[in-house]
Amino acid sequence: MSSFRVEGGHRLKGEITPQGAKNEALQIISAVLLTGEEVTIHKIPQIRDVLKLIDLLSDMGVEVTENGGESYTFKAANVNLDFLNTSDFKEKAAALRGSIMILGPLLARFGTGRMPKPGGDKIGRRRLDTHFVGFEKLGAKFNYDPQTSFYTVDGRNLKGAYMLLDEASVTGTANIIMAAVMAEGLTTIYNAACEPYIQQLCKMLIRMGANIEGVGSNLLRIEGVTTLKGTEHTLLPDMIEVGSFIGMAAMTKSDITIKNAQIKELGMIPDTFKRLGIKMNFNGDDIHIPAQEHFEIESYIDGSILTIADAIWPGLTPDLLSVILVTATQAKGTVLIHQKMFESRLFFVDKLIDMGAQIILCDPHRATVIGLDRAYPLRGITMTSPDIRAGVSLLIAAMSAEGVSTIHNIDQIDRGYQFIDDRLNALGAKIERVG
């Protein structure tokens, strides 16, 4: 198991470009199964989860060509469905939660799909009901075998239908969209997720020949088509990386410019960090965060304590709450962090408390952070990363702390952030990969 040895207290300076969006990549790469023609995708992040999905598609018979510069061409002309019955498929698909995204395309084009119960971060309940209920609405038959932990879906005669999703699941919406684009007739999806990643998927499918209306809203209308063609697509910058770099700059008193951040696609992320008192300058699509000795958390107009909570888009993405929590520890003022969607995602705050942070964990969903304006710097400790987002948050804390920290289980961080140690060391960080 690899670890990071982090020497804290170093200010960073320079420019950094965010990787392509991981969550978008998993959907877009799965969508190549919808056509036998070539699909070229640019800005694919070189991270473990994405590369595992590409490897899985290759094993299924998809021709994968690396074009260089984070660009790949896929051609799913000869998909081997028999591979879905192998132990190799079970092992690889179960190790990757994003593998669930191939079900929708398989149903749409081949009328069948199998999937072992997927893994992923242990951040609370992450049910898959939205995916399968949506498939059933389209006429698919669903079965789960607890003995083999396999989901099987038969969708040989998918037909358009009206559905009101029980939750605005991003992956659930994406999977249903990909199944519906080749279903017979009209599909109406209400309470659809409308994150930029979903919008990107819809725009790509439209270029492939799909008929989708309502892109960007929570009401989608999809008229099924019989075939889809190839296309070319460029992923958005990863908004989670952008937010992580903003918090990192504030915590380490650094002067950083985030290049090509696609600011209009970030929603309320910049404004949320501004409410923590972090200054930012926008120059086109670049974000400049000047070095700040101090930043102060806003309060509400009536003087009450600020609450920052996650919400479905256009609300704040839950993936950034851990970074925001860490950043608030060195601010001046108090903030209540409310993690609504996942009940285990705040269970890394014990490490921050060991580092000297003033945090009260109210319950599994809420934590009160008391920022003491850098009066008591965090101190380096040895800790273990529990998941991707908490892992990078602990890395940010370690970079701002006095002394040396060791972070174990950094494979979790590698699943979401490409070459993060090399990229930050280029700005002046002191991060050593060991083990």
121 is catalytic: yes
Q: Which two tokens stand for residue 187?
A: 């599909």
Let me know how long the chain is.
Answer: 435
Q: Which two tokens stand for residue 238?
A: 């990863």
Q: Which two tokens stand for residue 250?
A: 């504030």
H helix count then E strand count, the chain: 14, 23
Distance CA 428, CA 308 (A): 31
427 and 402 in contact (C-beta within 8 Å)?
no
The residue annotated as part of the active site, out of 49, 121, 387, 414, is: 121
Distance CA 418, CA 435 (A): 18
Please, which residues bridge with residue 344 across strands? Answer: none
In sequence order, which residues have a C-beta less than 8 Å from that of residue 193 and are 6 or more positions away? 168, 169, 170, 172, 173, 174, 218, 312, 313
Other beta carbons within 10 Å of 217:
12
Please, which residues bridge with residue 144 across strands? Answer: 151
Alpha helices in 31-146 (DSSP H): 48-59, 87-94, 103-110, 129-137
Looking from the CA of 309 toward its CB, the CA atoms found within 13 Å total 10
Q: H-helix or E-strand containing 170?
A: helix 170-180
Catalytic residues: 121
